[in-house]
Amino acid sequence: MDQPLKSPGQNALEDAFHRLFELTRSAPAPTLAERLDRLSRLRAAVSENESRFEQAISADFGHRSSIETAIAETLLVLGEIKHAAKHLKKWMAPRRISTALQFMPAKNRLIPQPLGVVGIIAPWNYPLQLTLAPAVGALAAGNRIMIKPSELAPRFSALLRDVIAAKFDATEIMVTGIDEDIAKAFASLPFDHLIFTGSTRVGRLVAEAAGRNLTPVTLELGGKSPVIIDRSADLDQAAARIAYGKLLNAGQTCIAPDYALVPEASVQAFADKLEGHMRRMYGANPGNADYTSIVSDRHYARLQGLVADAAAKGARILQAAKSDDPAWQSKRKFPPTIVVGATPDMNIMQEEIFGPLLPVVGYKDAGEPVAHINKHDRPLALYWFGTDDTARDEVLSRTVSGGVTVNDCLFHFTQVYQPMGGVGASGTGAYHGEWGFNNLSKLKPVFYRSPLNRLADLYPPYGAKIAWLQKMLRWMS
């Protein structure tokens, strides 16, 4: 059967990949100085264009506060670069590994090597941070990089392409276009590692395409990240912190709190406090410059549908304004929304929300939250609020999630000494700091045999010596 014709964009993409691929097989691995230089140039690319990135991202969203972009994107990327540069010499060094007694005086070493060409498929919600933070680990590990930005952030994507091209040769980092034909072909390239950040649905397609080449993948997905309010929690403090975690970037955050499990007797009090803190932070004015727009009309309509479905099925809706109010809808600002009394049959409890909507679900028994969480896919994040250490540790021991923040939201993601990654349907693999370096390196085990070792006694012809050696090996095992 004839193969379908490839577009000019696909042909150019494949040609660019093969140039990088051939270099990873023929050129020496980048030295420490070369890697530090690349990290320095990446830092300059970000810091010199900070305001341009902020403007492009805001234009892609319709509006996003420059403060949010600085805090949630720029500063995190710059921090990743600084941390990697500071520790890179140690990360690159061969690592001493213990040697079993029967092989002494030989030695073992673990030697980090670049994998080769790393592909990054970036999302739209934090386009700078979720594109360049993985790139930091890939550069530190000595890889060459191809980046496919999101088609939902066209202004940012065009700017990133220009900025990277000004600082890097195309054989170091190459940013592709965002045309549909390129998007479909990118995941099918035989990368040495592929990083995808996005929805679980698309993540499955990416993994399937990568699997045809046996390409290892890091998938940073999402899902429904729960909040547990323990009976010991300070409701007002929890409500304030959850309001911030939910409404940052208007909820368009993969680790945003997706629903809250609250003691039944405290549901109304919690909802009232949450609504009060949402109003205090963002007011009830769609012109508030601190509040981010929803990225597209389609996403706005999807959120409206979730609220309408919940209301039709009996939930009580608390909103700063109606989402079809022209003052809000014209700016794609979706009013902060609390859904009280959400039930499992509602769509809002069945799919990731990715917007400024928070369902509140009451529970009677202390074991209910854990049972509820364990009935569903393992979440990317879990948040627990309270002062009862025994209750906290029970939840931590009986649930599995990508990460946890205790008595706050989001901040486990910002820890450069901790890995960031999902589990199960919320992702696989991890990056950040040394975790990213290790994930994007081949940690090659090397055994150095000593001339004093008696391993040759294992070789045929077997004689009396083998019985003695077997006895010694059993004793040592």
**Secondary-structure percent of the chain, ordered helix, strand, coil, rounded to 5:** 50, 15, 35
Q: Is 220 a catalytic residue?
A: yes
What CA–CA distance (Å, rounded) separates 262 from 368? Answer: 10
Q: What was the pLDDT predicted at 456?
A: 65
Active-site hit among 54, 80, 254, 275: 254
CB 116 within 8 A of CB 24: yes
Q: How far is residue 157's CA from residue 148's CA, in Å, rounded to a whole number? A: 9
One digit per residue, the tens of pLDDT, for the chain of length 477 reads 456 677 877 889 999 999 999 999 999 999 999 999 999 999 999 999 999 999 999 999 999 999 999 999 999 999 999 999 999 999 999 999 999 888 888 999 999 999 999 999 999 999 999 999 999 999 999 999 999 999 999 999 999 999 999 999 999 999 999 988 888 899 999 999 999 999 999 999 999 999 999 999 999 998 999 999 999 999 999 999 999 999 999 999 999 999 999 999 999 999 999 999 999 999 889 999 999 999 999 999 999 999 999 999 999 999 989 999 999 999 999 999 999 999 999 999 999 999 999 999 999 999 999 999 999 999 999 999 999 999 999 999 999 999 999 999 999 999 999 999 999 999 999 999 999 999 999 999 999 998 887 666 677 777 777 777 777 778 877
- Joined together, the tokens standing for residue 336 give 């902060």
Question: According to the model, what pLDDT value does residue 15 have?
Answer: 92
Return the CATH architecture of domain 8-221+428-442: 3-Layer(aba) Sandwich (3.40)
Element at 338 (helix H, strand E): strand 337-340
Query: What is the residue extent of each domain of the chain?
Result: 8-221+428-442, 226-418
pLDDT value, residue 104? 86
Which position among 68, 73, 80, 220 bears the catalytic label?
Answer: 220
Question: Is 180 part of the annotated catalytic residue set?
Answer: no
Q: Is 113 helix (H, G, I), strand (E, B) or coil?
A: strand
Per DSSP, the residues of 7-43 read PHHHHHHHHHHHHHHHHHHHSPPPPHHHHHHHHHHHH
Q: State residue 1's pLDDT score.
A: 46
Report pLDDT for 101. 83
pTM to 2 decimal places: 0.94
Instruction: State how far the Cα of 114 lies from the Cα of 141, in Å rounded to an integer.
Output: 5
Residue 2 confidence (pLDDT): 55
Q: What is the CATH number of domain 226-418?
A: 3.40.309.10
Residue 183, exposed/middle/buried by CB under 10 A (0-12, 13-18, 19+)? middle
